[in-house]
Chains A and B, each alone.
Chain A
Amino acid sequence: TQTVSQSDAHVTVFEGDSVELRCNYSYGGSIYLSWYIQHHGRGLQFLLKYYSGNPVVQGVNGFEAEFSKSDSSFHLRKASVHWSDSAVYFCAVSANNNNRIFFGDGTQLVVKP
């Protein structure tokens, strides 16, 4: 069974700062790794995913994530955050041979003006 761990429940930064949201997973096989964003009172929206190839993947709105097999990580980054980036971010993992997707508990990002 895959597991996902997001070590930071809350992250607070100022507008214009860079941010990294951490995600670690445990699974021995080939997997998909994804990030989703949830604005308050809304459903989750897909940001980006990795399966193979270039370990740095680009998403919408300037987000990118980097896969590291040695660290079992898939951290999300943004170079300069905007107040509208305030939301909860979920890391997710699924094995490539099934459609079960497991989510972390989420990291709430607060961007102060």
Chain B
Amino acid sequence: EAAVTQSPRSKVAVTGGKVTLSCHQTNNHDYMYWYRQDTGHGLRLIHYSYVADSTEKGDIPDGYKASRPSQENFSLILELASLSQTAVYFCASSDRGSSQNTLYFGAGTRLSVL
């Protein structure tokens, strides 16, 4: 079954530490995205990628890096985690063309930075 799988599902990190969130998709989709969701708000785009070995900045890229080593995998990296990065992070994938705006989401990673 096609899916988007995120790991870990939850994480507690210390301020200033490095955090890596991983995402794996079996949808054979070209596009992958990282969004963050803060309580009571919608999703904001951090980084996205439309091909392996290439990433693009979204609307709130500061403090985050992304890596797309293969079509299936897309990681979000927080080099120096900060309290303000406490949030739920969602990975998503989509296809090209007319289906490109239909996103398939993972279950999310709840990150708490202390």
The answer to whether A and B come from one shared complex is: yes
**CB under 8 Å from chain A, chain B span 81-114:** 90, 92, 94, 98, 100-108
Asked whether B31 is an interface residue with its Cβ less than 8 Å from the other chain, the reply is yes
Query: Are B101 and A99 in contact, with the CB atoms below 8 A?
Result: yes
Query: Are B50 and A99 in contact, with the CB atoms below 8 A?
Result: yes
Q: Of B33, B42, B106, which contacts A90 at CB under 8 A?
A: B42
Q: Of A9, A42, A51, A100, which contacts B107 at CB under 8 A?
A: A42
The total of Cβ contacts below 8 Å across the A-B interface reads: 57
Asked whether A63 is an interface residue with its Cβ less than 8 Å from the other chain, the reply is no
**CB under 8 Å from chain B, chain A span 86-108:** 90, 92, 94, 99-101, 103-106
**CB under 8 Å from chain A, chain B span 19-70:** 31, 33, 35, 40-45, 48, 50, 58
Q: Of B31, B101, B105, which contacts A34 at CB under 8 A?
A: B101
Query: Are A46 and B45 in contact, with the CB atoms below 8 A?
Result: no
CB neighbours of A36 from chain B (8 A): 103
CB neighbours of A99 from chain B (8 A): 31, 48, 50, 94, 100-101
Query: Are A105 and B101 in contact, with the CB atoms below 8 A?
Result: no
CB neighbours of A41 from chain B (8 A): 108
Known contacts A90-B42, A99-B94, A103-B42: A43-B106 contact under CB 8 Å: yes
Asked whether A44 is an interface residue with its Cβ less than 8 Å from the other chain, the reply is yes
- Taking A92-B101, A103-B44 as known contacts, 13 extra A-B pairs with beta carbons closer than 8 A to each other, sorted by chain A number, are A4-B42, A9-B40, A44-B90, A44-B92, A46-B104, A94-B100, A94-B101, A99-B48, A99-B50, A100-B48, A100-B58, A101-B33, A106-B40
Could you list which residues of chain A lie within 8 angstroms of chain B, going by C-beta atoms?
4, 9, 32, 34, 36, 41-46, 49, 51, 90, 92, 94, 99-101, 103-106
What are 21 A-B contacts with C-beta separation under 8 Å?
Answer: A4-B42, A32-B101, A42-B108, A43-B4, A43-B90, A43-B105, A43-B106, A44-B103, A46-B102, A46-B103, A90-B43, A92-B101, A99-B48, A100-B45, A100-B48, A101-B45, A103-B35, A103-B44, A104-B42, A105-B41, A106-B40
